[in-house]
A and B are shown apart, each in its own frame.
Chain A
Amino acid sequence: MIDFHTHPVLIREFVDKYPNYERMARRVFDIGNNFQPLETFFLQMDVAGIERAVLLPIDCRRARKDAVSSNEQVAELCRLSKRFIGFASVDPLKKGAPRELESAVKKLGLKGLKLDPALQDFRVNHRKVFPVYEAAAGLGIPLLVHTGMSWAPETPLERGHPLHLEEPIRQFPKLNFVLAHFGWPWVWEATALALKYPNVYLDTSCLYYDSPKEFFQFVFSKQIPTTLIERSLRNKIVFGSNYPRVEIKNMVQALKTLALTEGCLNKILRENAERLLGLGPEK
Chain B
Amino acid sequence: MIIKLERVKLQTRKSEEAIDITAKVDEIVKKTGVKNGLVNVLTSHTSSGLLVTEGIPCLEEDILTHFSRLFPEDEDYHHRRYLDYDGRLGFNADAHLKSVIGGISCTLPIENGKIVRGSRQTIYFMEYDGPLERTYLVQVLGE
Q: Which residues of A contact B (CB under 8 A)?
A: 12, 29-34, 36-37, 39-40, 43-44, 46-47, 151, 207-214, 244-246, 249-250
* B15 contacts across to A, CB distance below 8 A: 47, 249
List, sorted by A's number, 13 A–B pairs whose CB atoms are closer than 8 Å. Answer: A32-B83, A32-B86, A32-B88, A34-B132, A36-B133, A43-B131, A46-B131, A47-B130, A151-B87, A208-B82, A209-B81, A245-B89, A249-B15
B131 in contact with A246 (CB, 8 Å): no
Q: Is the interface of A mostly helix, strand, loop or mixed?
A: loop
B 65-89 binary contact with A (CB < 8 Å = 1; else 0): 0000000001000001111011111
* A245 contacts across to B, CB distance below 8 A: 87-89
Bound Cα distance A245, B131 (Å): 15
Bound Cα distance A233, B85 (Å): 36
Q: Which residue of B lies closest to A250 (CB)?
A: B91
Bound Cα distance A40, B15 (Å): 11
A209 in contact with B82 (CB, 8 Å): yes
Min C-beta distance of B86 to chain A, whole Å: 4
Min C-beta distance of A71 to chain B, whole Å: 23
* A47 contacts across to B, CB distance below 8 A: 14-15, 130-131
Interface size grouping (class) on chain B: 10 to 19
Q: Which residue of A lies closest to B86 (CB)?
A: A32
* A246 contacts across to B, CB distance below 8 A: 88-89, 91
Chain A CB within 8 A of B121 CB:
no
Bound Cα distance A126, B104 (Å): 54
Min C-beta distance of A251 to chain B, whole Å: 11
Bound Cα distance A29, B86 (Å): 11
* B87 contacts across to A, CB distance below 8 A: 29-32, 151, 245
B74 in contact with A213 (CB, 8 Å): yes
**A37 in contact with B133 given A32-B86, A213-B74, A249-B15 (CB within 8 Å):** yes
Pick from B14, B74, B83, B131: contact of A40, CB below 8 A: B131
Bound Cα distance A39, B131 (Å): 10
* A211 contacts across to B, CB distance below 8 A: 74, 80, 89, 91
Q: Which residue of B lies closest to A42 (CB)?
A: B131
* 8 residue pairs, one from A and one from B, having the closest CB atoms: A43-B131, A32-B86, A31-B87, A211-B91, A30-B87, A245-B88, A211-B80, A210-B80
Q: Which residue of A lies closest to B82 (CB)?
A: A209
Bound Cα distance A208, B11 (Å): 29
A31 in contact with B88 (CB, 8 Å): yes
Which of the listed residues B11, B74, B132 has the most CB atoms from chain A within 10 Å of its own CB? B132
B89 in contact with A209 (CB, 8 Å): yes
Q: Which residue of A lies closest to B83 (CB)?
A: A32
